[in-house]
Amino acid sequence: AFNYHAPPQQQDPDAPKLSTYAYGRDYHKVLRKRLKPLIAFIHEQYGEVALRAFVDSAPVLEKAWAERAGIGWRGKHTNVIRQGTGSWFFLCELITDLELESDPPPTDHCGTCRRCIDA
| Positions marked active-site | 56
CA–CA distance, 17 with 72 (Å, rounded to integer): 28
Return the HEC string of 76-116: CCCCEEECCCECCCECCEEEECCCCCCCCCCCCCCCCCCHH
Please give the helix or strand (H or E) that residue 53 lies within, else none.
Answer: strand 51-54
CA–CA distance, 6 with 20 (Å, rounded to integer): 6
